[in-house]
Amino acid sequence: MSTAPLDLALLTGDPQLPYEYGVAGTFGADDQTAVRDAQRALREMAGVCPRLLDDHERLIDTLRAKPPQLAVNFCDTGYRNLLRNEPHVPALLELLEIPYTGAGPGSMAICADKALVRHLAAAHGVPVPNERVVDLAAEPPVLPDLYPALIKPNAGCGSIGVTADCVVRDATAADAYLRRLAEALGGGRALIQDFLTGTEYTVGLLGNPGDDLTVLPVLEIDYSHLDPGLPPILDYGSKMDPDSPYWQALRFRPAELDEPLYARMVEQALFLFERLGFRDYARIDFRAGADGVPRLLDANFNPTWSPDGKLALMAGWAGMEYNALIERIVTAARRRYGL
């Protein structure tokens, strides 16, 4: 007896709408290539019938008229390509009772406040950088107590607002960057952190607690090819702009960790995955201070899912090709919903 294939919808950003965080203010060619790669991977999965939903003008009507059995929520641009609307996509899917991959709206809302994530981590013994939250509307701007410091938006993702100038070494540079950030973001809050100079790591996770949650090989950021005049950070250009010196110089390699350090960092990543309500896949980033202790940098509920992203790279080190990575994400969601 034959079984009908699973009706699966891939939700992504809308290439027809502006996207203010895109390099040219659009959902660009690289973004659209990533969507095509994900489509190909889904089409090669057995037992599914995938379709693409990228027209946000008609998205709500389409989902109501023909709800899929499972939505692959790769809409990391937010509804109508507005990042503040990113939690609205899973919220809509829940209202329509459509199963979907990845984190829910509550988890996304919590992680939109980086200071809140830091406080949660610190309360449970996860090392974090020294940090203060400042109001970008303050006049004069609230400056760091110690230098060098790193200044970044409290909200946002994809290293938005993180540039080479965000590492400040004196009050003049800090004042200038805070004013520039306030103008660019139109207000809000910023984080002032210790500038960590040790090794930077990322831990990739696939699956769900209690059901085959897999830790991928830990990744280390290699800054050795970067111009010494640039601060060693993962800035916006390193992720979005092929012309950026960061994009061109940064390398990624499997981390070489002693067993106790590896065990502690993985334990912390697993705790954060569960406590923050992540599902199916995630990436947790750490960076060591001068004492060698890795501290939490960021918790990513929807890390880059393209073939050239860090999650795919770590999966490759584990012997998992890109198609298999996408299938693992889908399978994790299917098992969670009992599909």
pLDDT (tens digit per residue) in 19-75:
988 878 888 888 899 999 999 999 999 999 999 999 999 999 999 999 999 999 999
- What is the distance between the alpha carbons of residues 151 and 195, in angstroms, rounded to a whole number? 9
pLDDT score, position 20: 83
Domain with CATH 3.40.50 in the chain: 6-100
Task: Supply 330's token pair.
Answer: 């889908």
At 169-195, the pLDDT tens digits run: 999 999 999 999 899 888 889 999 999
Domain with CATH 3.30.470.20 in the chain: 109-126+197-218+255-337
Q: Are 78 and 63 within 8 A, CB to CB?
A: no
| Cα maximum dimension of the chain | 73
Q: Could you tell me which residues are beta bridge partners of residue 202?
A: 219, 285
Hunting for tokens 């599909």 — which residue is that?
A: 339
**Which residue pairs, CB below 8 angstroms and at least 24 apart, start in 169-178?**
171/143, 171/144, 174/141, 174/143, 174/144, 174/147, 174/149, 175/140, 175/141, 175/143, 177/151, 178/134, 178/136, 178/141, 178/142, 178/143, 178/151
Q: Is the pLDDT of residue 112 over 60?
A: yes
CATH number of 109-126+197-218+255-337: 3.30.470.20
At 145-170, the pLDDT tens digits run: 999 999 999 986 655 667 888 999 99
Q: Is the pLDDT of residue 240 over 70?
A: no
Whole-number mean pLDDT of the chain? Answer: 92
pLDDT score, position 160: 64
What's the fold here for domain 6-100? Rossmann fold (3.40.50)
Q: What count of other Cβ atoms lies within 10 Å of the Cβ of residue 142?
A: 17
Mean local confidence (pLDDT), 245-265: 92
